[in-house]
Structure 1
Amino acid sequence: MTLDTQTAPAPQVTDHGPQYKWIALSNTTLGVLIATINSSIVLIALPDIFRGIHLNPLLPQNTGYLLWMMMGFLMVTAVLVVSFGRLGDMFGRARMYNMGFAIFTVSSVFLAITWFDGAEAAVWLIFWRIVQGVGGAFLMANSSAILTDAFPANQRGLALGINGVAAIAGSFLGLLVGGVLAPIHWHLVFLVSVPFGIVGTVWAYLKLRDTGIRKRAKMDWWGNVTFAVGLVAVLVGITYGIQPYGSHSMGWSSPMVLSCLIGGLLVLGLFAAIEVRVPSPLFNLSLFANRSFTFGNIASLMSSIGRGGLQFILIIWLQGIWLPQHGYNFEQTPLWSAIYMIPMTIGFLLTAPVSGALSDRMGTKWFTTIGMVITACTFAALIAMPVNFSYPIFAVVLLLNGIGMGLFSSPNRAEVMNSLPVDARGSGSGMMSTFQNSAMVLSIGVFFSLMITGLTTHLPSTMNAGLIANGVPADQAAQVAQLPAVAVLFAAFLGYNPVQELLGSHLHTLPQANQDTLTGLDFFPHLISDPFADGLSTTFTFAIVCCVIGAAASLFTGTRDQLVETIEVTRGTAGNGND
């Protein structure tokens, strides 16, 4: 089923003067920066947000609110970026980008003015976070295409590198901004985006213009519907898979989760069958005939899977174990965990623009390959590190991790975007963003699942023995020890005192000395250190495998003449009316 939504032919290129490319770069960098800051800003701010709306996210009936607050933004951007990139190809990339800025700004206003409490406030916040994700998807889907149109080929690596810095650095800066603002007042976490959104929206409408080709095309409705339904089902299944189910520590055996995963994959299979038959597909599968596009996306996908859950694991490591052992109260740990992860951001900021600029002259392959190898080595170093590490060594490893990601990110994006024909840059950019954002959600699910599996092996017996040794009756200790490991992880992740949350009212029946020991800064970190090390080894080994695959895929990029490939792909789509 298709519906004609034809656009008038546009000129091949419109010249808006030598300064236009820098206007495009500065505006799209601002847009991507605030979008990615908001993708992670709530992670550190969640304790203050839930305290502000008077809702305990650790209660079983409220866990869904917690998960959707964390994952909703990522999920909606993963689903929509490719469709919005396609709309940019059809109706104008600047026009779709401008619309995204406006939607993002309006939703930020509604998030900031939340005035009620409880479950109603949680639903309100989740809804407007999803709308904010819609705006973010418009921004992410079209920013790379706008830059690729505006910059000549010999400067695209630099431009996409700077834009890529904003994209990934924003996810780290969001942690820091959320950690600083949330303790002052949780509304500031959302209010901070409003002035930047207003300025960016007005600036985009006044200055951005479409400089590339627009397609004569039909809207692929069946493709859009099957893609959205299939991907949403898979991502929902992953999200609920890390929740407990019955007597199981995770929900992977839940009929609902299995139905989402299996049904979603079947619908995505139907989507692929549709895409090879319709004249103007949402996913232009012929683009995968281009080796650089294919292997560049494989490398990007594996990079995103390998590092997507890293923030969560590092936050739990710092907040639940390392910071309390070094004198920080649990309530202080969200902010300080963001501060202690700054070296990763510095490493990325140092190398991403430089590698992008150098790859314009030297090619991309060795930057991306070496970047993935360095990142894999840093995961190996984190495995070898004791749980109660020396911070200078930890900081150096995080710095190198950021350097590795910076070396990879900008040249990889430039390689993929340069491989695209001019009239497919919006949809191609959207496809790449879809792979990256979907991989981030998948990575979080995989990292949490591997970590929970590692904890479940030893944590119950360790916790049971530790609680009994400090005066907790055996039946109560056994009951607490059998609680799902995800409850322990979420408590540590949210900056709560885990033992105090797990024991609840039982804590007050114990002598004061035992209460002080159990809720002190040493008991829980020492209790969880060995089981956490097991989970850490499993998760980071998985990350190493992903990075090695990404490095191998990077070796296959840039091995054929890009111009020849672009002409071949363009010819392959010429019969579809995509002039």
Structure 2
Amino acid sequence: MSAGRKEYRMNTKPTNKQQNSSYAEGGGGRGIQYKWVALSNTTIAMFMAAVNGSILLISLPAIFNGININPLTSFQYLLWILMGYGVVTATLLLSFGRLSDMYGRVRLYNIGFAIFTAGSILLFFTPDTGDAGAIELIVFRLIQAVGAAFIFSNSAAILTDAFPPDERGKALGLNQVAAIAGQFIGLIIGGLLAVFNWRYVFLISVPFGVIGTIWAFLKLKETDCREKRPQKIDIWGNLVFIGGLTIFLIGITYALIPYGTSPMGWGSPFVIASLVAGFLLLVAFPFIEMKVEDPMFRMDLFRVRNFAFGNAAGFLSALARGGVMIILILLLQGIWLPLHGYSFESTPFWAGIYMLPLTIGFVVMGPISGILSDRYGARWLSTAGMVLVGISFLVLAVLPYDFDYLPFALALLIMGLGNGLFASPNSAAIMNSVGPGERGVASGMMATLMNSGFVLSMGMFFTIIVVELTDAFPPVLVSALTAANATSLIADMSVIPPTGALFAAFLGYNPVEMIIDGLSPALIANIAPATIATLTNTVWFPTTLAEAFMPSLGLSFYIGAGLSFVAAILCAMRGNKYIEELDNAPGKN
């Protein structure tokens, strides 16, 4: 532990009695209700950011139609709209967390709320269509991501400042329930609003953003938890970390885009150079942080067992579940829902409905686990949560593509309960393991690792699925066309790239209809109407896709299970309940 950190503790740590008295007054004499002001405002912010993140998954068909973009030929735009938000957020969280310890958490949180709202307004007024409109959407989403990084890096620290140690699990649990619930509510809201106008998808967050921003500026108060000695901005650390992570994640993103004749870009010189350069910078980063006077990434915090094992478990949990939502939506929209009579156009909305058990499980267990962790600690609660998540992955891995909904719903419910049992106890344990002057950087480190895990997870699972589809889809497609007496269409249908077929279904399109609509009337005249009807119904394409899709889906779920069980082991190794400001107070060993 650094000398500065020791000095901070010796000069500012209250005794247990003083600590409880301070929190009873709301912190700094601000009144007993302040903690609820902090909770409600940060909860609105987390909910808004989560809704905005998932609402696009359902409304992208309407958005692409609104700006006249063809989903079969615009995979790069789709990928950046989905992943660009996470890339920017992940790269900025750590820097913003450190800056908040230096210049004030509430101040930077308020700035983030305002930036996020401005990004939402810009998205609503997107002026152009076509490629220009898609690029504008991506840029405005990146502006939103900057605001979200301020919010995510400071929310947990603001709550930890406002709540006493024996209530932090409950507060963080409620905050995270709002975030998870927002992800699934966004799916439903997106399906409803997209029916009327795609711009309403972005307008929905503006009232929340305006009210929340004004409320935050008026009601949230800065705590005096900054270190008294002058501090320097870690210029080299910022440059190396932001540069390394940005370059590496951009490499991951472009690896998912076709390159030359290859369906993926892993062989692209740009991708290879990005991955190598980003990796080398990230490897150099911890060594730089151990040398600078005021590091943005506090390596000494990893000497605290709860902090180290909690963050490692959180990263693996994010890596396991980050791509799961999109994979499950692909399964529902591309295969299961059409097989059960739903039109391709309606599947985005119904996918959100059928995934509600996952939300219900988290909403039920999140607050309960937070309350229990305040009393008993996070060790066995978080361990049990990750075990449940691993079991749910195994159940999903063995289900057929035309599954009965009940076992699928039960698996989602178990996954939601497990994530709810893990998330808030783990976050509370991490935040309780650091002192008041380190909560900003700790919150930023925790959020950075989780967001990086989410982005890497999407890249990892997309790669597994696309590689398998590339090998399996063409022969399956030929076999299915032959069985449907449509051998004359083999040449035309073979132009469907596996990624295009998959994401057309994801966006609510039937790619077979899109191909047939583009054929010449002379060619269509030589095909029996019954054959055309077979190819364009809601059964033929999902069944064809399922044969190529399910092996990679099962592998993805097994990998998710393995990562969850490793995270469970790390949770069990975290040690007993520990609260830094109480256990390390003067007079305590």
8 Å contact 2:156–2:443 — kept in the other structure?
A: yes
Deviations 1:352-407 (A, max 9, x none): 01100111001111111111011111111111111111112211211111001100
Task: Report the alpha carbon displacement of residue 443 of structure 1 after superposing the two structures with TM.
Answer: 0.5
TM, length-normalised to structure 1: 0.93
Give the partner amino acid of 1:198: V
Q: Where does residue 190 of structure 1 map in the other structure?
A: 202
2:158 is the alignment partner of 1:152: no
Task: Report the alpha carbon displacement of residue 456 of structure 1 after superposing the two structures with TM.
Answer: 3.1
8 Å contact 1:364–1:558 — kept in the other structure?
A: no
Task: Report the alpha carbon displacement of residue 117 of structure 1 after superposing the two structures with TM.
Answer: 1.3
Pairwise mapping of residues 63-102 of structure 1 onto structure 2 (< 5 A)? 63-102=75-114
2:287 is the alignment partner of 1:267: no
Q: Where does residue 16 of structure 1 map in the other structure?
A: 30
Deviations 1:60-86 (A, max 9, x none): xx3221111111111111111111111
Unmatched 5+ stretches in structure 1: 1-9, 569-579
Give the partner amino acid of 1:135: G
Q: Where does residue 429 of structure 2 map in the other structure?
A: 415
Distance, in Å, in 2 between the alignment partners of 1:566 and 1:301 is 26
Task: Report the alpha carbon displacement of residue 553 of structure 1 after superposing the two structures with TM.
Answer: 0.6
**Pick aligned residue for 1:225 from 236, 239, 261:** 239
Distance, in Å, in 1 between the alignment partners of 2:352 and 2:375 is 36
Distance, in Å, in 2 between the alignment partners of 1:300 and 1:179 is 31
Give the partner amino acid of 2:444: G
Q: Where does residue 312 of structure 2 map in the other structure?
A: 298
Task: Report the alpha carbon displacement of residue 44 of structure 1 after superposing the two structures with TM.
Answer: 1.1
Q: Where does residue 39 of structure 1 map in the other structure?
A: 53
Q: Where does residue 118 of structure 1 map in the other structure?
A: 130
8 Å contact 1:500–1:507 — kept in the other structure?
A: no
Q: Where does residue 19 of structure 2 map in the other structure?
A: none
2:155 is the alignment partner of 1:143: yes
8 Å contact 2:476–2:547 — kept in the other structure?
A: no
Deviations 1:460-502 (A, max 9, x none): 111011123334445x525644754222221111111022335
Task: Report the alpha carbon displacement of residue 113 of structure 1 after superposing the two structures with TM.
Answer: 1.5
Q: Where does residue 521 of structure 1 map in the other structure?
A: 538
Give the partner amino acid of 1:260: S
What RMSD in Å do the two structures reach over aligned CA positions?
Answer: 1.9
8 Å contact 2:376–2:577 — kept in the other structure?
A: no
Q: Where does residue 175 of structure 1 map in the other structure?
A: 187
The structure-2 alpha-carbon separation of the partners of 1:560 and 1:412, relative to structure 1 and needing over 3 Å to count, comes to closer
Deviations 1:296-344 (A, max 9, x none): 0111001101011111111111111111111111011111111111111
2:340 is the alignment partner of 1:326: yes
8 Å contact 2:435–2:580 — kept in the other structure?
A: no
Task: Report the alpha carbon displacement of residue 514 of structure 1 after superposing the two structures with TM.
Answer: 2.0
- 144-153 vs 117-126, which deviates more? 117-126
8 Å contact 1:290–1:565 — kept in the other structure?
A: no
8 Å contact 1:220–1:278 — kept in the other structure?
A: yes
Distance, in Å, in 1 between the alignment partners of 2:432 and 2:578 is 11
Distance, in Å, in 2 between the alignment partners of 1:15 and 1:501 is 65
Distance, in Å, in 1 between the alignment partners of 2:321 and 2:465 is 14
2:392 is the alignment partner of 1:374: no
8 Å contact 1:212–1:422 — kept in the other structure?
A: no
Distance, in Å, in 2 between the alignment partners of 1:124 and 1:456 is 31
Task: Report the alpha carbon displacement of residue 424 of structure 1 after superposing the two structures with TM.
Answer: 0.9
8 Å contact 1:491–1:501 — kept in the other structure?
A: no
Distance, in Å, in 1 between the alignment partners of 2:114 and 2:460 is 34
Task: Report the alpha carbon displacement of residue 513 of structure 1 after superposing the two structures with TM.
Answer: 2.5
Q: Where does residue 486 of structure 1 map in the other structure?
A: 499
Three-state SS of the structure 2 residue aligned to 1:116 is coil
Q: Where does residue 22 of structure 2 map in the other structure?
A: none
Aligned-pair identity (%): 47
The structure-2 alpha-carbon separation of the partners of 1:502 and 1:316, relative to structure 1 and needing over 3 Å to count, comes to farther
8 Å contact 1:359–1:411 — kept in the other structure?
A: yes
Give the partner amino acid of 1:34: M
Q: Where does residue 378 of structure 2 map in the other structure?
A: 364
Q: Where does residue 324 of structure 2 map in the other structure?
A: 310
8 Å contact 2:71–2:500 — kept in the other structure?
A: no
Distance, in Å, in 1 between the alignment partners of 2:128 and 2:470 is 38
Distance, in Å, in 2 between the alignment partners of 1:422 and 1:523 is 59
8 Å contact 1:40–1:172 — kept in the other structure?
A: yes
Three-state SS of the structure 2 residue aligned to 1:395 is helix
Distance, in Å, in 1 between the alignment partners of 2:506 and 2:352 is 12
**Pick aligned residue for 1:548 from 525, 544, 565:** 565
Give the partner amino acid of 2:197: H
Q: Where does residue 402 of structure 2 map in the other structure?
A: 388
Task: Report the alpha carbon displacement of residue 527 of structure 1 after superposing the two structures with TM.
Answer: 1.0
Task: Report the alpha carbon displacement of residue 203 of structure 1 after superposing the two structures with TM.
Answer: 0.4
8 Å contact 2:310–2:570 — kept in the other structure?
A: yes
Task: Report the alpha carbon displacement of residue 272 of structure 1 after superposing the two structures with TM.
Answer: 2.1
Task: Report the alpha carbon displacement of residue 507 of structure 1 after superposing the two structures with TM.
Answer: 7.6
8 Å contact 1:244–1:250 — kept in the other structure?
A: yes
2:254 is the alignment partner of 1:237: no
Give the partner amino acid of 2:455: V
Three-state SS of the structure 1 residue aligned to 2:233 is strand
The structure-2 alpha-carbon separation of the partners of 1:561 and 1:326, relative to structure 1 and needing over 3 Å to count, comes to closer
Give the partner amino acid of 2:136: W
Distance, in Å, in 2 between the alignment partners of 1:564 and 1:351 is 27
Task: Report the alpha carbon displacement of residue 39 of structure 1 after superposing the two structures with TM.
Answer: 1.6
8 Å contact 2:436–2:581 — kept in the other structure?
A: no
8 Å contact 1:295–1:557 — kept in the other structure?
A: yes
Q: Where does residue 248 of structure 1 map in the other structure?
A: 262
Three-state SS of the structure 2 residue aligned to 1:30 is helix
The structure-2 alpha-carbon separation of the partners of 1:320 and 1:252, relative to structure 1 and needing over 3 Å to count, comes to same
Three-state SS of the structure 1 residue aligned to 2:238 is helix
Unmatched 5+ stretches in structure 2: 1-10, 14-26
How many residues are matched?
A: 556
Three-state SS of the structure 2 residue aligned to 1:182 is helix
Distance, in Å, in 1 between the alignment partners of 2:188 and 2:426 is 27
8 Å contact 1:497–1:519 — kept in the other structure?
A: yes
Distance, in Å, in 1 between the alignment partners of 2:303 and 2:417 is 31
Task: Report the alpha carbon displacement of residue 11 of structure 1 after superposing the two structures with TM.
Answer: 8.7
Distance, in Å, in 2 between the alignment partners of 1:343 and 1:81 is 30
